[in-house]
Chains A and B, each alone.
Chain A
Amino acid sequence: MLASRALRLVGKRAISTSVCLRGGHGVAKVEDYTLPAYFDRRENPLPDIRYVQNLSPVQASLKEKEKGAWAALSADEKIALYRISFHQSFAEMNQESAEWKSVVAGIFFLMGLTGLLVLWQRKYVYGPVPHTLDPEYKQKELQRMLDMRMNPVEGFSANWDYENKQWKK
């Protein structure tokens, strides 16, 4: 009861570091993912924390100067202050990348590898080509198909000119 009252005094912001209501078992380990984090997101323009958490002496002195009149800051100092608070500018985070080129290149490469696989398959897996696929056999087969008048209306034999013994143009 008293501990919860004390918690309320500490305030909402410090909840992650305050003592948990654990009946005297101590402070729970604070995980990284429970603390406020920095994100460069268009939909969340002002992140919960500054980008640079541990300021160098130069940056610390600059932050002190920031407490005074801003007109006294040079352009470079203003940019340095921006870079302390933010990682990427909106222009930087929104810019398109050329990653698709590498992706397409990868696609072509893997398709080529597939071709090599098919090559290996032809050499080591396929059996001999049946004799019915020899060019001479196919010619005889063609003559027989035409003799049989296969599909003479709109199909196969319809393409053959029986009068002049040649393919129709």
Chain B
Amino acid sequence: MYRFAKAAVNLTGQAARQARHGSTAPPDFHQKYGNGLMVGGLVFCTAVWGYVLTQTGITWNLSPIGKVMPKPWREPEE
């Protein structure tokens, strides 16, 4: 138990002395281009889907509540 406490104190002492220097390794592909690729991908995705959802003539048949005004439908009977 005593030895454990001694070791525990030693550990914390070492942690306090450690200085973080940061990595000097050259940036890899992901660090150089990751952010740009993410933004580019997002722009491409939203552009394509924005066009598809609005400009291609796909019918969504959204609810008329609050949007459409009714129109008389009865045709004069012959």
Residues of A within 8 A of B (CB): 91-92, 95, 97-102, 104-109, 111-112, 115-116, 118-119, 122-123, 126, 129, 133, 135-136, 138-144, 146, 156, 159, 167
Contacts and interface: CB of A to CB of B under 8 A. Distances in A.
Contacts of B35: 101
A140 B73 CA distance: 5
A140 B69 CA distance: 9
28 contacts: A92-B25, A97-B28, A100-B34, A101-B35, A102-B30, A102-B33, A105-B34, A105-B40, A109-B44, A112-B47, A115-B45, A119-B48, A119-B52, A122-B57, A123-B56, A126-B58, A129-B59, A135-B68, A138-B68, A140-B71, A140-B72, A140-B73, A141-B73, A142-B64, A143-B70, A144-B73, A159-B66, A167-B65
A54 to B, nearest CB: 25
A112 B47 CA distance: 8
A92 to B, nearest CB: 7
Given A101-B34, A101-B37, A102-B37, A118 B71 contact: no
A122 B56 contact: yes
A109 B23 contact: no
Contacts of A104: 38, 41
B1 interface: no
Given A106-B41, A133-B61, A98 B66 contact: no
Contacts of A118: 52
B51 A108 contact: no
Interface of B: 23, 25, 28-31, 33-35, 37-38, 40-42, 44-45, 47-49, 51-52, 56-59, 61, 64-66, 68-73
A107 B52 CA distance: 18
A97 B30 contact: yes
A144 to B, nearest CB: 5
